[in-house]
């Protein structure tokens, strides 16, 4: 998304003298203590995983440098909180200070990282050679390696649930998954993943595949696999806008799922941006006289963009105007830029950790399916991105009835009155859970809100067999009667150990009709299978 436009920032306000004096006094006191411990030979490194190595503990000078860094970082953070400025400006300042502080850690440089220096000596220089080779390879790829990508292949050991592509157009392929039970529910499920990344986050490996789990519960699953447009494409896909994705993508997929299943309605699930697109498409469908979805599931989805968490630092009018000039009528928002933006939301975990391991120590990161997926980004058509950026993050127009129009039809999310299952993740930094909860004030049907532990991805991808984490549900005989205040909901919610998936499956099963014999083949005479799942579109890598 790019860096915030500093030209919009007012002149920074000063820190009150008494608060500044307190910050300076704390720094001086703690620095004095660290120096005295260093002289006495009792100084240990700060309690920070970046300084946990034995070489840090055995090198007093390095430990003292680490303390200087930690104390300086704390002082900067306190000054940020004490500065007299508007809260939106403070949020941006927090983000900028975090970027600078994390980048300047002494662990990030060979000259000040004793662990990396020790490995250089122990390996006879081999770690430096391997690190330079890793750097050269990453420069060639144009991105930082976060996992051993040689361990995975889409369609072989990730994204390999059996099925077939039963429809395709310029924007998407529609996958129908093969049944894994002798009987299936009458109403199928259509999954709409985000187009900002690949769908197989919901179909990683068999033991952590949300798709496979749903199929194993007797649901007939259809899934949208969005096309990854390339600069070399010449069919105009780079000019596709939000309306195109709703009409040719979501609504067309819903029609195909209805046609193949022989049902007037299906159930539908949207994840992240896919949920925003799904709800928008359903509102568009209502305006066109369509009512194709019986029950709706939204996972970590924003419909109300009032609070977008840390992403708000990228949102302003100048940024929107610059993107509209650059991409408003065509062109691609690159996967590389999108990936870099999201990685720097958590720079220590997703950037500097790998700089140290890959380059300073010459290590190859371990194979990890989720990080393989994270590195497999997608490009976005410019008009789609600019419409989405302005009308959601900047102006929050989507929640306003009738403010937005697609193909002459007014969008009104308040017309969506089907039963809805709304899920948020408690530590989500992309979709704050209170913002996921805000959808309960927009949708009008009976609703069940569930809050899972962990973050945006790990909270969602939490298979029951792992017996990890927990989730919260409302209490009382009618959990669909939700309070307006999310904290009021949480204060009386009950926590349950393990995955939320069984709770969702039970909810969906009650809304999916009776069980009937599973179909012997995929598609039908009008939707002849084109190729085996996962299809061609998901295998296209961004350049």
Q: At 2, is the pLDDT very low, low, confident or very high (cuts 50, 70, 90)?
A: very low
Of 85-94, 111-120, 262-271, the one with minimum mean pLDDT is 85-94
Residue ranges of the alpha helices (H) in 389-531?
Answer: 433-437, 486-492, 501-509
12 has pLDDT over 60: no
Integer CA distances (angstroms), 41 to 53, 56, 111, 341, 433, in order: 18, 13, 22, 42, 47
Mean pLDDT within 464-478: 87
Active site residues: 272
Beta carbons of 210 and 452 less than 8 angstroms apart: no
CA distance 464 to 271: 19
8 pLDDT more than 60? no
The first and second tokens of residue 86, run together, are 């508007």
For residues 346-368, average pLDDT: 94
18-49 tens-digit pLDDT: 999 999 999 999 999 999 999 999 999 999 99
Residue 9 has pLDDT above 90, yes or no: no
170-209: per-residue pLDDT in tens? 999 999 999 999 999 999 999 999 999 999 999 999 999 9
> In this predicted structure, what is the pLDDT of residue 478?
58
* Three-state SS at 30: helix
Residue partners of 331: CB distance under 8 A and separation at least 6: 238, 381, 382
Give Cα 441 to chain centroid, integer Å: 23
Give the pLDDT mean for 493-510: 97
The residue-averaged pLDDT of 207-216 equals: 98
Mean pLDDT confidence for 245-265: 98
Per-residue pLDDT band for 139 (boundaries 50, 70, 90) equals very high
Nearest to 88 by CA among 10, 28, 155: 10
Please tell me the pTM assigned to this model: 0.93
Which band of pLDDT confidence, cut at 50, 70 and 90, is reported for residue 6? very low
Report d(CA 501, CA 464) in Å as an integer: 7
Average pLDDT, the chain: 94
Give the model confidence (pLDDT) of 59-72 as tens digits: 999 999 999 999 99
Beta strands at 420-425 and 293-299: parallel, antiparallel or unpaired: parallel
| Percent of the chain's residues with pLDDT above 70 | 97
| Spatial CA neighbour of 385 closest among 244, 479, 284, 198 | 244
- Candidate from 307-311, 423-427, 442-446 with smallest mean pLDDT: 307-311
Number of neighbours of residue 109 by Cβ within 10 angstroms: 13
For 295-305, what is each residue's pLDDT tens digit?
999 999 999 99
């Amino acid at each position: 998304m790019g860096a915030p436009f500093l030209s919009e920032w007012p002149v920074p306000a000063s820190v009150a003298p008494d608060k500044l004096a307190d910050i300076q006094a704390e720094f001086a006191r703690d620095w004095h203590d660290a120096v005295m411990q260093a002289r006495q030979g009792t100084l240990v490194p700060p309690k920070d995983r970046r300084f946990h190595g034995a070489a840090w503990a055995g090198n007093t000078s390095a430990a003292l440098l680490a303390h200087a860094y930690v104390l300086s970082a704390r002082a900067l953070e306190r000054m940020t909180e004490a500065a007299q400025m508007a809260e939106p400006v403070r949020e941006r300042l927090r983000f900028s200070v975090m970027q600078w502080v994390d980048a300047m850690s002494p662990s990030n440089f060979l000259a000040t990282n004793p662990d990396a220096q020790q490995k250089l000596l122990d390996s006879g220089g081999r770690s430096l050679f391997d690190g330079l080779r890793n750097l050269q390879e990453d420069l060639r790829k144009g991105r930082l390696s976060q996992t051993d990508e040689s361990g995975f292949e889409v369609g072989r050991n990730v994204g390999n649930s059996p099925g077939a592509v039963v429809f395709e157009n310029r924007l998407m392929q529609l996958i129908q998954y093969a049944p894994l039970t002798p009987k299936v529910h009458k109403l199928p499920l259509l999954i709409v993943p985000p187009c900002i990344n690949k769908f197989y986050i919901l179909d990683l490996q068999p033991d952590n595949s949300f798709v496979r789990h749903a199929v194993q519960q007797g649901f007939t699953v259809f899934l949208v696999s969005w096309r990854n447009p390339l600069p070399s494409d010449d069919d105009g896909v780079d000019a596709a806008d939000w309306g195109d994705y709703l009409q040719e993508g979501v609504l067309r997929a819903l029609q195909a799922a209805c046609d193949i299943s022989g049902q007037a309605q299906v159930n539908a699930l949207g994840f992240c941006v896919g949920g925003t697109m799904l709800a928008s498409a359903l509102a568009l469908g209502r305006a066109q006289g369509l009512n194709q979805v019986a029950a709706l599931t939204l996972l970590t989805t924003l419909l109300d963009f009032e609070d977008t968490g840390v992403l708000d630092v990228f949102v302003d009018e100048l940024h929107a105007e610059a993107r509209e000039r650059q991409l408003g009528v065509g062109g691609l928002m690159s996967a590389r830029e999108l990936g870099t933006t999201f990685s720097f939301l958590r720079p220590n975990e997703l950037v500097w950790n790998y700089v140290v391991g890959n380059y300073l120590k010459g290590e190859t990161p371990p194979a990890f399916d989720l990080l393989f997926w994270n590195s497999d980004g997608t490009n976005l058509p410019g008009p789609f991105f600019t419409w989405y950026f302005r009308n959601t993050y900047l102006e929050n127009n989507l929640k306003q009835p009738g403010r937005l129009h697609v193909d002459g039809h007014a969008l009104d999310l308040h017309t969506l009155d089907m039963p809805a299952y709304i899920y948020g993740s408690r530590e989500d930094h992309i979709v704050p859970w209170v913002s996921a909860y805000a959808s309960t004030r927009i949708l009008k049907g009976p609703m069940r809100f569930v809050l899972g532990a962990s973050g945006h991805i790990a909270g969602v991808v939490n298979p029951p067999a792992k017996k990890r984490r927990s989730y919260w549900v409302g209490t009382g005989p009618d959990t669909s009667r939700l309070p307006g205040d999310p904290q009021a909901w949480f204060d009386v919610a009950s926590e349950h150990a393990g995955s939320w998936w069984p709770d969702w499956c039970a909810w969906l099963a009650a809304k999916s009709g009776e069980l009937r014999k599973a179909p012997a083949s995929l598609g039908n005479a009008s939707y002849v299978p084109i190729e085996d799942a996962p299809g061609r579109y998901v295998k296209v890598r961004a350049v």
